[in-house]
């Protein structure tokens, strides 16, 4: 809720800011005219909620004399559903596996590499991961990246125990009633597959059955609270002892509550990259490319990453924020694990998605019967 309220408040403030000082912020910057350059001056941007810095959009609008219609989604699935419904956007920021799917379905157009002058700023490690879903690197430009792990309260959970058990701590009844479980079939099955030593992209029926049983055991013996974004504020307030979280949200929680610690289990986890893409039916691709380039610039990258806590794909911004004196200095969740052999990028598989979705409902149906 806090998130929703905050974003509402932010958009109100943003509106107020747009109305108030249009020409003021343009003192020593070379203002461009989007209409003249690209023939259009409005772009529709669809991004995840709580994923952008404070003045990033209004600065872009001032710089290009343009208007950004900014909408947010809660999940990649919601984004895809919205696209199916015929909504038209100029820039989307989906995750790796959704980009893979959009590419398979010919729903994206190539990025104009000549317009992305800031492309050299990208962290080479992230570009390696990008090749998994966009092999030719022609269709996407990374936005944030990270992993999935566990946030725990150091005072109530022994770091040695959680290091040793990893994901299996979610079956340890010493912590029954004290865990937040992420309510998403993708993350739930990733955890079960990894805990059992399988690949998170497996389609082996026996392995799926074993993972489903692992999750059922967790659901019936651990009294977990199934949550999504509300876990961020709940963990910052220390409501429970262990929570599954995305690294960027964990970085925020760790910076708010010093009792909290972060671990990426040794059984391996999901490494993910969210990237900007331009849909095939974009109405203003020229300005969309300019927007992507603008986001990849140092200032915008810095503002975004500092504000939301997700790891920047911009190598200098990452070094600045995680280095000495940086906002996230010494915050392990801001520095996700790179190059670990058991970590994987998620792949889209429509048939598997249906099956795991059904199994996930089965898992939740096994409680409170």
Partner 1 sequence: MKGFNRLIYPYIVWAIIMIILPMLMIVLYAFTVKGNDVLTFQFTLENFVRFFKDPIFPGVLWRSLKVAFITTAICILLGYPCAYIFAKMKPNNQAVMVLLVTLPMWINVLVRTYAWRGLLSYVELSSEVRVYVGMVYNFLPFMILQVYTALSKIDPALITAAHDLGANDTNTFLKVILPLSLSGVVSGITLVFLPAVSSFFIPKFLGGGQYLLIGNLIEDYFIQTGDWNFGSAISLIMAIIILISMYIMRKLDREPKEAEVN
Residue of 7, 75, 201, 327 interacting with partner 1 (CB under 8 A): 75
Asked whether position 225 contacts partner 1 by CB under 8 A, the answer is yes
Q: Are 347 and 100 in contact (CB under 8 A)?
A: yes
Site for partner 1 in 79-118 (CB under 8 A): 80-81, 84
| Residues forming beta bridges with residue 69, ordered by sequence position | 44
Residue 23 in tokens: 């020409």
227-286: contacts with partner 1 (CB under 8 A)? 227, 230, 239
Q: Which is nearer to partner 1, 81 or 204 (CB)?
A: 81
Q: How far is the CB of 6 from partner 1 (least distance, A)?
A: 13
What is the distance between the alpha carbons of residues 337 and 325, in angstroms, rounded to a whole number? Answer: 21
Select from 146, 224, 268, 279 the one that contacts partner 1 (CB under 8 A).
Answer: 224
Say whether residue 131 binds partner 1 (CB under 8 A): no
Task: Please give the Cα distance from 116 to 95 (Å, whole number).
Answer: 20
Cα(first)–Cα(last) distance of the chain, in Å? 28
Residue 226 touching partner 1 (CB under 8 A): yes
In sequence order, the 6+-apart residues with CB closer than 8 A to the CB of 218 are 170, 171, 181, 192, 224
With CB under 8 A, what is the number of residues at the site for partner 1?
Answer: 29
Q: Which is nearer to partner 1, 93 or 303 (CB)?
A: 93
Nearer to partner 1, 272 or 328 (CB): 272
Radius of gyration of the chain (CA): 21
Q: Is 324 in the site for partner 1 (CB under 8 A)?
A: no
Among 54, 72, 77, 352, binds partner 1 (CB under 8 A): 77
**Residue 194 or 348 having the CB closest to partner 1:** 348
- DSSP designation for 334: G
Find the part of the chain contacting partner 1 (CB under 8 A) among 62-70, 263-271, 340-348, 350-358: 350-358
Residue 119 interacting with partner 1 (CB under 8 A):
no
**Rounded distance, CA 356 to CA 208, Å?**
8
Task: Give the Å distances, CA to CA, from 186 to 77, 148, 269, 279, 335.
Answer: 11, 11, 12, 24, 23
Which of positions 190-219 make contact with partner 1 (CB under 8 A)?
219
Q: Are 284 and 292 contacting, i.e. CB atoms less than 8 angstroms apart?
A: no
Q: Determine if 353 is a binding residue for partner 1 (CB under 8 A).
A: yes
Burial readout 110-125 (b: 16 or more C-beta within 10 A, e: otherwise): ebeeebbebbebbbeb
Q: Find the binder of partner 1 among 41, 123, 185, 312 (CB under 8 A).
A: 185
Q: Does 364 bind partner 1 (CB under 8 A)?
A: yes
Chain contacts with partner 1 (rule: CB under 8 A)? 1, 75, 77-78, 80-81, 84, 183-185, 219, 223-227, 230, 239, 353-354, 357-358, 361-362, 364-365, 367-369
């Amino acid at each position: 809720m806090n998130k929703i309220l905050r974003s509402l408040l932010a958009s109100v403030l943003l509106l107020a800011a747009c109305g108030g000082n249009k020409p003021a912020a343009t003192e020593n910057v070379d203002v461009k005219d989007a209409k003249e350059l690209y023939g259009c001056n409005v772009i529709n941007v669809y991004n995840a909620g709580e994923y952008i810095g404070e003045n990033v959009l209004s600065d872009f609008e001032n710089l290009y004399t343009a208007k950004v219609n900014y909408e947010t989604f809660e999940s990649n699935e919601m984004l895809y559903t919205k696209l199916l419904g015929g909504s038209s956007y100029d820039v989307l920021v989906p995750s790796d596996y959704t980009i893979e799917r959009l590419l398979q379905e010919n729903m994206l157009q190539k990025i104009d590499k000549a317009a992305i002058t800031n492309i050299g700023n990208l962290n080479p490690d992230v570009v390696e991961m990008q090749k998994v879903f966009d092999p030719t690197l022609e269709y996407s430009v990374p936005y944030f990246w990270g992993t999935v792990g566990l946030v725990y309260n150091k005072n109530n959970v022994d770091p040695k125990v959680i290091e040793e058990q990893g994901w299996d701590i979610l079956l340890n009844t010493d912590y029954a009633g004290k865990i937040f479980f992420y309510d998403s079939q993708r993350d739930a099955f990733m955890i079960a597959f990894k805990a059992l030593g399988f690949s998170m992209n497996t389609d082996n029926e026996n392995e799926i059955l074993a993972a489903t049983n692992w999750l059922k055991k967790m659901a019936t013996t651990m009294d977990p609270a199934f949550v999504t974004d509300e876990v961020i504020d709940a963990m910052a307030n220390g409501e429970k002892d262990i929570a599954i979280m995305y690294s960027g949200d964990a970085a925020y929680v760790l910076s708010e509550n010093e009792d909290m610690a972060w671990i990426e289990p040794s059984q391996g986890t999901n490494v993910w990259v969210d990237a900007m893409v331009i849909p095939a039916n974009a109405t203003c691709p020229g300005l969309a490319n300019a927007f992507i380039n603008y986001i990849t610039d140092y200032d915008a990258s810095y503002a975004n990453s500092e504000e939301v806590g997700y790891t920047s794909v911009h190598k200098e911004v990452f070094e600045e924020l995680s280095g000495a004196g940086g906002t996230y200095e010494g915050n392990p969740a801001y520095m996700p694990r790179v190059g670990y052999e058991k970590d994987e990028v998620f792949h889209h598989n429509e048939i598997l998605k249906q099956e795991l979705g059904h199994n996930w409902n089965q898992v939740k149906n096994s409680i409170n019967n």
